[in-house]
Amino acid sequence: MLNTNEIYNHFAARTGQIAILIDPDKFNTEKLLLPLLKKAEFAKVDYLFVGGSTVTRKAFTETIAIIKKNTILPIVLFPGAAHQVSEDADALLYLSLISGRNPEYLIGQHVLSANEVYDMDIEVIPTAYILIDGGTKSSVAYVSQTTPIPNDKETIILNTAKAGVLQGKKLLYLDAGSGAKNHVPAKVITILKKLNQPIIIGGGIRSIESLKELSAANVLVIGNRIEEEIDFLLDIKEFVGKN
Ligand code: 1GP
């Protein structure tokens, strides 16, 4: 574990930053990854997040190695399970799924990976991971066997985030789940701002309008939309330029 806050300080430094989520289940060859990395650099996105709910160790390791070799962008691990860790990354989001009540994702997977992570030269960021209902049954909710918080239950969302902060989480990650019909409402960001922690929002962000609407968050994570149409990165470039 590295004693540095470099990536964390970047997260905290400003709002409206962009992360692309690379799911090694879908993007795991040079042929697929190289154009994506090139365009991501051209668009001047801020981070590459890597991880997924159902990724194998082999796909994960190979994908990280290809990314590391071919980009200067910071690599941040967004692991779906204990085996999704690597020293080739710059930081690890140390996620506790605190919207759920499944001990496996509150502490179980952490114990399995702790020995390996503890000795890695990587920045580890304690993260409150909160699933918000996005209008579809998401992979992450199914795999973790947890129930997301309804998106209009603002008090529950706020109290969950507060509990995370009291437990020492330094980052709030609100996720509507990959492929969500509805992204996390902008109002949730407004409510959580008072906790003075950097906020990451992901799930169902598919348009520049949504990016603008959510730009009070520190980091906005986009997965599916770019997998479907890599040239969406050109629109993102414009957003990044103006933001
Ligand atoms: C990351 O789950 C998101 O937090 C990614 O969601 O694939 O819908 O962009 P999308």
Whether the CA torsion 141, 142, 146, 150 is positive or negative: it is: positive
- Report the pLDDT value the prediction gives residue 53, as an integer from 0 to 100: 87
- Report the pLDDT value the prediction gives residue 120, as an integer from 0 to 100: 95
Residue type, 114: A
Distance 22 CA to ligand 1 centre (A): 10
Q: Express each pLDDT in 208-228 by its tens digit.
A: 999 999 999 999 999 999 999
| Percentage of the chain exceeding pLDDT 70 | 100
Report the number of secondary-structure helices (H) and strands (E) in the chain. 11, 8
Among the listed ranges 22-26, 99-103, 162-166, 213-217, which one has the minimum average pLDDT value? Answer: 22-26
- Report the pLDDT value the prediction gives residue 69, as an integer from 0 to 100: 97
| Percentage of the chain exceeding pLDDT 90 | 95
Instruction: Provide the domain limits for residue 161.
Output: 6-242
**Mean of the pLDDT values across residues 112-140?**
97
Is the pLDDT at 3 greater than 90? The verdict is: no
Mutate to test the pocket of ligand 1, among 47, 55, 136, 205 (most ligand atoms within 8 A of CB): 205
Q: Which two tokens stand for residue 26?
A: 């879908």
Is the pLDDT at 141 greater than 90? The verdict is: yes
Asked whether residue 1 is domain-assigned, the answer is no
Q: Name every protein residue with a CB atom under 6 angstroms from any ligand 1 atom.
A: 21, 175, 177-180, 202-205, 221-225
Distance 206 CA to ligand 1 centre (A): 9
Identify whether the C-beta of residue 217 lies closer than 8 Å to the C-beta of residue 237: no
Report residue 46: phi and psi, to 5°: -90, -35
- Confidence tier at 112 by pLDDT (50, 70, 90): very high
| Cα 31 to Cα 27: distance, rounded to the nearest angstrom | 9
Is the pLDDT at 243 greater than 90? The verdict is: no
The CATH number of the domain holding residue 140 is: 3.20.20.390
| Cα 148 to Cα 176: distance, rounded to the nearest angstrom | 8
Domain tally, the chain: 1
Average pLDDT, the chain: 97
Q: Which two tokens stand for residue 14?
A: 């400003």
Provide the 8-state DSSP code for 184: P
